[in-house]
Structure 1
């Protein structure tokens, strides 16, 4: 009875108690193994690894911060580098990024900017504002559509405001597993000072998995056109590790590598984030 009165319960421990004879399945029926008997469970069939309250309803879900079902405000600070051997004047660039995300119902809003350092030069990177709407096609399938604007805060000659369209699809076929993909399109408005420009499209597909409630990893492939018409498109593989340090703090590690170009194109970033609510 003590387990039934607890406000927060972790299912694996409850299952262990069942296996060791702590409770008798004949006396108490709990089909979703959340620690709340079916007769008292107001949210039946909750995912196995989710934490629930005394009513059997989810209080902690297996979702990344940008896929949350709850209203939230997060701030993330990342630091890392980018290599691009195609541009000898800008081989290795160190960058610090800050991103603010606010989610309300199925709407998401984000602000991202960065500070760049390359050799002896230091400058503010472009600033991106984005809004997206989520459509719940089914409990397992979600569609995100969004639009954004990239402000020319990077002091590069001919740099102008660009506009972006975003789309992504997330599918959760089983507990802890996610499949995702998306298409993005950028309307380039820079001046043609270094070559003929073109609008840029990109796509990505990948899969991710929650190994525990706190540890998530994904792997993806991306195709991205260059904004320069005479430059080849980029084919890359990337991976992300996400770790929920506490209820408020989380950490990320991201690596990306171009897989078809003979020149070195890669980037590595480590981030720390804080969730205000």
Structure 2
């Protein structure tokens, strides 16, 4: 396949791009920083610095859209919320327009989203059919998804990736968690009862490729492992894998002071399960959190 990828230098995109290259696909990477992308992938891929001169996506078999400003790196000021939205919405809208302008459009658009689509769902089991709570994360993801769905037609199917916390050897949420836990000063956040939907990077990448390779599949997919855990269970398991204590609880009020409105990312949660992915026949390698954490921390170190 000839595949266009946005967000290829990110946590998911970098692993996915390497795996697709290993599978002998022809890859074009869209990146504002072509030098950074070339340092990662060399001359095995083609590079586009922008879509400004592009009039259609004729010749591509698939588009995988993973670009977006990291959601948890800064407090959600009005300006930061705008950046978070624009970094997702504008590119997705442009890609959908290019697909619609193509005489032979790509057969699939796989576009990013997040379990934040649902808002804070408490203890309820969250499948792809769950009604969302109207919070900022839902508003962000709902618009993101609706723009991607503009590309849907009889010739192009659209798959939406409602992704949880991706566990990887380097980068992502785990990289921020590890330093205090390695010092023995980690612990649960708030009451620790909020659910944390997670997925191992290998299952995330293989799940995307599964969607790519199975033409009947379309719509939203929860990209999470089958067994989400409470925050307190996650922290206890992480501490066990690191052979460190985990008893210093971070109070909810302290997280709100530190993160502002963005504290909902760690104080709220979703008991999301991958119903549609499993019904489609995808097989996870990492079901248990301890197995996944041990792999990314100890086996791939």
Higher share of residues assigned helix: 2
TM-score (norm 1): 0.27
Which has the higher relative contact order, 1 or 2, with Cα contacts under 8 A spaced 6 or more apart? 2
